[in-house]
Amino acid sequence: MTQTERAESQPSEPSSGAPSPSATTETLISVKDLKKTFNIGFFKSRVVEAVKGVTFDVHRGEIFGFLGPNGAGKTTTIKMLTGLIAPTSGDAYLFGKRVPAAEARQNLGFLPENPYVYPYLTPREVVEMSGQLSGMKGAALRSRTMEVLTKLGIAYAADRQARRLSKGMLQRTGLAAALVADPELLILDEPMSGLDPVGRKEVRDLIFDECAQGRTIFFSTHILSDVEAICDRVAILREGKVVVMGALRNLLRGDVVRTEITLANVSLELRQTLLNKNYEVTDRAGVVVVAIDGEAQVPPALRMALDAGAQVIELVPKKETLEDLFIRRAL
């Protein structure tokens, strides 16, 4: 099932009137014109506007990516959303309840940006404590703890003290703690941080799987390419403001924006002809890479290269990435 199909096949909420988009989407997170200003310095005279009026909704069943470079205001927004700090102005709602709402926390699994784990606790203890805070106990808690530790790939280190764990293992422990109570909503602040490429992929797969099982996931990251494959919708934050928001399939241009042809045996004459056509020509370790906007000009360029005796090593059509979109829309 593609993500689009998955997003569209979410069970709709019972509605009394005629079906409308608002009747079929349940809003689990709602943030309205949220602002946060920090006063810093000895006399608290320096003002840092960390979040400058952020508004978005997250609907049941979706994976929502909260993106933006370091310092954009993601963590500050998430702290306001989870009730860790109070907004300077604006409102945040979880499950329709104004934050901080104790009952909303019951259905929420939260992974903070740099989860602090007491150095002498083990992953098993951290996860069990998280379950206890959500009212779990006894054999059910013990077996669920092992289940999530196994799912996160750290069951083998379940009884190792946190001070002996790598950053990636602590991150997995934090994710297991967020999942243990089977929450409807996960809020994850940089869930892939501290993980190697394989670990990042595992967390992406985990997010995708948890969503397929009915959980709603809101997560932040500063690495745009991490999320392309999994998000239904994104908001891109820059300097405290949302600069891009919407469904990925609507935001990214689906067509080929650029084609890169790698050639060997390029004669000086051919190189000059390609340059005359205004193609971007770059030398790279014994080969020549020709970059062409779009794809219409690709067949004639190829013919020209082959006729001139060049060898085609590779041809890569490139679609727009989130990074391209960010540069196009936000900078």
Ligand X SMILES: Nc1ncnc2c1ncn2[C@@H]1O[C@H](COP(=O)(O)OP(=O)(O)O)[C@@H](O)[C@H]1O
Return the number of the residue (190 or 232) whose C-beta is nearest ligand X: 190
Of positions 75, 82, 122, 130, contacts Mg ion by CB under 5 A: 75
Least distance (Å) between residue 188 CB and Mg ion: 11
Nearer to ligand X, 74 or 144 (CB): 74
Q: Segment contacting Mg ion (CB under 5 A): 41-49, 58-66, 72-80, 99-107?
A: 72-80
Stretch binding Mg ion (CB under 5 A), from 70-78, 148-156, 238-246, 293-301? 70-78
**Least CB distance from residue 74 to ligand X, whole Å?**
3
Q: 104-123: which residues touch Mg ion (CB under 5 A)? A: 113
Quick check: 316 binds ligand X (CB under 6 A)? no
b/e string for 77-113 if b means 16 or more Cβ within 10 A? bbbbbbbeeebbebebbbbeeebebeebbebbbbbbe
Indicate the burial class of 140 (C-beta count within 10 angstroms; 0-12, 13-18, 19 or more). Answer: exposed
| 226 phi-psi bin (left φ>0, alpha ψ -120 to 50, beta other) | alpha
Binding to ligand X (CB under 6 A) within 54-83 occurs at: 68, 70-76
Residues written for the chain = 331
The 16-55 contact track toward ligand X, x by CB under 6 A, reads ----------------------x-x-------x-x-----
* CA dihedral sign, ordered 179, 74, 324, 287: negative
Name the binder of 61 from Mg ion, ligand X, none, CB < 5-8 A by kind. none
Hunting for tokens 């490139």 — which residue is that? Answer: 318
| Shortest separation between residue 113's beta carbon and Mg ion, angstroms | 5
> For Mg ion, which residue has the nearest CB?
75
CA–CA distance, 173 with 168 (Å, rounded to integer): 9
What b/e sequence results for 210-227 when a residue is b if at least 16 CB atoms lie within 10 Å of its CB, and e otherwise?
Answer: bbeeebbbbbbbbebebb
User: Total number of residues binding Mg ion (CB under 5 A)?
Assistant: 3
If contact means CB under 5 to 8 A according to the sort of partner, which of ligand X, Mg ion, none does residue 71 touch?
Answer: ligand X
Residue 48 site contact among ligand X, Mg ion, none (CB < 5 to 8 Å, cut-off depends on kind): ligand X
Q: Which of 220, 276, 228, 253 is nearest to 75 (CA)?
A: 220
Structure-token match 């014109």, residue found = 33
List beta partners, residue 186: 109, 217
49, 71 Cβ separation under 8 angstroms: no
Interface residues toward ligand X, by CB under 6 A: 38, 40, 48, 50, 68, 70-76
Residues that bind Mg ion (CB under 5 A): 74-75, 113
